Amino acid sequence: MSEAPDHGPGVRVPPPVMVGLVLAAAWLLQRVAPVPLGPPLPEPGALVIFAALGLIGWAVLVLVRAGNDPRPDKPDAALVESGPFRFSRNPIYLGFLLAVAGFALRWGDLWGWIALAVSHLLLDRLVVAREEAYLATRFGAAYAAYRGRVRRWL
């Protein structure tokens, strides 16, 4: 009797699309119905976005080197605990949230910060929860030990 094929965690909407749509909605809202919180901070915002892209790139590189496809709808070949995964179980999603925070700083508007909260909620509930359940089944005790050592976000 053969084992059922591994279809990954079952994430339906790619996280970059999810966060991108939220960010686009926030951009549109801050253009149409602005709610300024303070002056726009383009330089600090750009630095945060740059740091976010660096974190995302580093995490993707570590995943690929371990033989994993970074897309969350694909099965994992290995449990990755190195690189940025030593500090966060979700460094790519953390990078997405940092990028949204960078845009919020650049805009100086409430809609950017609402986009950050909505993005966090969507990632946490629709992506991370599915991935954690999948990884617990796929890697068992090794994932449980990793989960005990490394925080979900930071």
List all residues 6 or more positions away from 9 whose beta carbon is below 8 Å from its beta carbon. Answer: 72, 73, 130, 131, 133, 134, 135
Question: Which residues, including other chains, have CB under 8 Å from residue 31's CB and lie 6 or more apart?
Answer: none
- Is position 20 within any domain? yes
The answer to whether position 90 is within a domain reads yes
From first to last of the 154 residues of the chain, give the pLDDT tens digit.
445 567 789 898 999 999 999 999 999 999 999 999 999 999 999 999 999 999 999 999 999 999 999 999 889 999 999 999 999 999 999 999 999 999 999 999 999 999 999 999 999 999 999 999 999 999 999 999 999 999 999 9
Give a yes or no: residue 84 inside a domain.
yes
* 2 belongs to a structural domain: no
Number of domains in the chain: 1
Q: Is residue 118 part of a domain?
A: yes
For residue 121, give its domain range: 15-149
In this structure, is residue 3 part of a structural domain? Answer: no
Give the per-residue pLDDT at 6.
72
Residues in Cβ contact with 29 at an 8 Å cutoff, skipping those fewer than 6 apart: 111
Is 143 within a domain? Answer: yes
Instruction: Determine, yes or no, domain membership for 100.
Output: yes
The model carries a pTM of: 0.94
